[in-house]
Amino acid sequence: MQQPDLRFIGIVHGDILRPEDAPPFYDESDRTGTLEIYPEYQDGLLGIAAGETILVLFWLHLAGRSTLQVYPRGDVSRGLHGVFATRSPMRPNPIAVSELKVLAVDGRRIKVSGLDIIDGTPILDIKKRGKAGINCTA
Protein backbone atom coordinates (compact mmCIF):
# COMPACT_ATOMS: atom_id res chain seq x y z
CA MET A 1 0.00 0.00 0.00
CA GLN A 2 1.24 3.46 -0.87
CA GLN A 3 2.20 5.74 2.04
CA PRO A 4 0.24 9.01 2.28
CA ASP A 5 1.76 12.11 0.74
CA LEU A 6 0.57 14.82 3.12
CA ARG A 7 1.20 18.51 2.51
CA PHE A 8 0.76 21.23 5.07
CA ILE A 9 -1.48 23.94 3.64
CA GLY A 10 -0.80 26.54 6.30
CA ILE A 11 -0.06 27.31 9.92
CA VAL A 12 -2.09 28.53 12.90
CA HIS A 13 -1.34 31.73 14.80
CA GLY A 14 -2.77 32.23 18.27
CA ASP A 15 -2.02 32.88 21.91
CA ILE A 16 -1.79 29.24 23.02
CA LEU A 17 1.93 28.60 23.42
CA ARG A 18 2.08 25.34 25.40
CA PRO A 19 0.01 22.14 25.32
CA GLU A 20 -1.03 22.59 28.94
CA ASP A 21 -2.52 26.01 28.08
CA ALA A 22 -4.82 24.62 25.39
CA PRO A 23 -8.52 24.19 26.18
CA PRO A 24 -9.46 20.49 26.34
CA PHE A 25 -11.83 20.80 23.34
CA TYR A 26 -12.66 23.37 20.69
CA ASP A 27 -16.27 23.48 21.90
CA GLU A 28 -15.00 24.68 25.30
CA SER A 29 -12.88 27.48 23.83
CA ASP A 30 -13.64 31.13 23.18
CA ARG A 31 -10.08 31.79 21.99
CA THR A 32 -9.49 33.43 18.66
CA GLY A 33 -6.63 33.04 16.24
CA THR A 34 -5.68 33.13 12.60
CA LEU A 35 -5.24 30.36 10.08
CA GLU A 36 -2.57 31.47 7.62
CA ILE A 37 -2.87 29.54 4.37
CA TYR A 38 0.21 29.22 2.18
CA PRO A 39 0.03 31.17 -1.11
CA GLU A 40 -0.17 28.09 -3.34
CA TYR A 41 -3.40 27.02 -1.56
CA GLN A 42 -5.15 30.41 -1.37
CA ASP A 43 -7.48 29.62 -4.29
CA GLY A 44 -8.93 26.79 -2.19
CA LEU A 45 -10.45 29.35 0.18
CA LEU A 46 -13.00 30.56 -2.39
CA GLY A 47 -16.46 30.15 -0.83
CA ILE A 48 -15.42 30.41 2.83
CA ALA A 49 -16.98 33.45 4.51
CA ALA A 50 -17.46 35.05 7.91
CA GLY A 51 -20.22 33.45 9.97
CA GLU A 52 -19.62 29.95 8.63
CA THR A 53 -18.22 26.95 10.46
CA ILE A 54 -15.21 25.06 9.16
CA LEU A 55 -13.61 21.80 10.20
CA VAL A 56 -9.85 22.12 10.33
CA LEU A 57 -7.42 19.21 10.46
CA PHE A 58 -4.13 19.93 12.21
CA TRP A 59 -0.86 17.99 12.48
CA LEU A 60 0.04 17.96 16.19
CA HIS A 61 3.77 18.27 15.62
CA LEU A 62 4.60 18.36 19.36
CA ALA A 63 2.55 15.30 20.34
CA GLY A 64 4.07 11.94 21.23
CA ARG A 65 3.41 9.17 18.74
CA SER A 66 4.15 6.06 20.77
CA THR A 67 1.46 6.29 23.48
CA LEU A 68 -1.49 3.95 22.92
CA GLN A 69 -3.31 4.25 26.25
CA VAL A 70 -4.19 7.33 28.29
CA TYR A 71 -6.39 8.50 31.13
CA PRO A 72 -9.08 10.68 29.51
CA ARG A 73 -8.34 14.34 30.32
CA GLY A 74 -5.66 13.05 32.72
CA ASP A 75 -8.35 11.80 35.13
CA VAL A 76 -7.09 8.52 36.62
CA SER A 77 -10.53 7.85 38.17
CA ARG A 78 -11.97 7.38 34.66
CA GLY A 79 -9.69 4.42 33.99
CA LEU A 80 -7.23 3.73 31.22
CA HIS A 81 -8.51 4.04 27.63
CA GLY A 82 -6.97 3.36 24.25
CA VAL A 83 -6.12 6.56 22.38
CA PHE A 84 -8.61 5.67 19.64
CA ALA A 85 -11.39 5.89 22.26
CA THR A 86 -10.29 9.40 23.28
CA ARG A 87 -9.41 12.78 21.82
CA SER A 88 -5.86 12.57 23.18
CA PRO A 89 -3.29 14.39 21.05
CA MET A 90 -0.86 11.53 21.64
CA ARG A 91 -1.51 8.91 18.96
CA PRO A 92 0.29 7.14 16.09
CA ASN A 93 -0.85 9.81 13.61
CA PRO A 94 -1.27 13.00 15.64
CA ILE A 95 -4.10 14.53 13.63
CA ALA A 96 -6.55 16.84 15.39
CA VAL A 97 -9.86 18.18 14.18
CA SER A 98 -11.43 21.41 15.38
CA GLU A 99 -14.76 22.93 14.44
CA LEU A 100 -14.11 26.65 14.20
CA LYS A 101 -16.32 29.68 13.58
CA VAL A 102 -15.06 31.94 10.80
CA LEU A 103 -14.92 35.55 12.01
CA ALA A 104 -13.30 37.07 8.93
CA VAL A 105 -11.46 36.13 5.75
CA ASP A 106 -8.72 38.45 4.52
CA GLY A 107 -6.82 37.04 1.57
CA ARG A 108 -4.88 34.02 2.87
CA ARG A 109 -5.85 34.63 6.50
CA ILE A 110 -8.94 33.27 8.22
CA LYS A 111 -9.73 34.69 11.66
CA VAL A 112 -11.49 32.03 13.73
CA SER A 113 -12.95 31.49 17.19
CA GLY A 114 -13.01 28.28 19.21
CA LEU A 115 -9.28 27.72 18.80
CA ASP A 116 -7.74 24.96 20.94
CA ILE A 117 -4.48 24.49 19.00
CA ILE A 118 -0.95 25.65 19.81
CA ASP A 119 0.58 28.56 17.90
CA GLY A 120 2.70 27.31 15.01
CA THR A 121 0.80 24.06 14.47
CA PRO A 122 0.66 23.00 10.80
CA ILE A 123 -2.72 22.84 9.05
CA LEU A 124 -3.48 19.72 7.00
CA ASP A 125 -6.89 20.54 5.55
CA ILE A 126 -10.06 22.61 5.84
CA LYS A 127 -13.59 21.43 5.17
CA LYS A 128 -16.66 23.63 5.17
CA ARG A 129 -19.36 22.38 7.49
CA GLY A 130 -22.80 22.05 5.95
CA LYS A 131 -26.17 22.04 7.69
CA ALA A 132 -26.05 18.30 8.35
CA GLY A 133 -22.31 18.01 8.88
CA ILE A 134 -19.48 18.18 6.39
CA ASN A 135 -20.50 19.59 3.02
CA CYS A 136 -19.35 16.85 0.67
CA THR A 137 -21.03 18.01 -2.50
CA ALA A 138 -19.98 21.69 -2.59
Summary mean pLDDT of the chain? 89
The predicted structure's pLDDT at residue 133: 54
Prediction pTM value:
0.86
* Contact between 22 and 74 (Cβ < 8 Å): no
Query: Which is more confidently placed, 10 or 66?
Result: 10
The model's confidence at residue 74, banded by pLDDT at 50, 70 and 90, is: confident
Report CA-CA distances (Å) from 24 to 18, 54, 68, 99, 124: 13, 19, 19, 13, 20
* Residue 83 scores a pLDDT above 60: yes
The residue-averaged pLDDT of 98-119 equals 96
Query: Looking at domain 10-129, which of 3.40.50.2300, 3.40.50.1970, 2.40.30.70, 3.40.50.300 is its CATH number?
Result: 2.40.30.70
Q: What percentage of the chain exceeds 90 in pLDDT?
A: 62
What's the confidence (pLDDT) of residue 138? 46
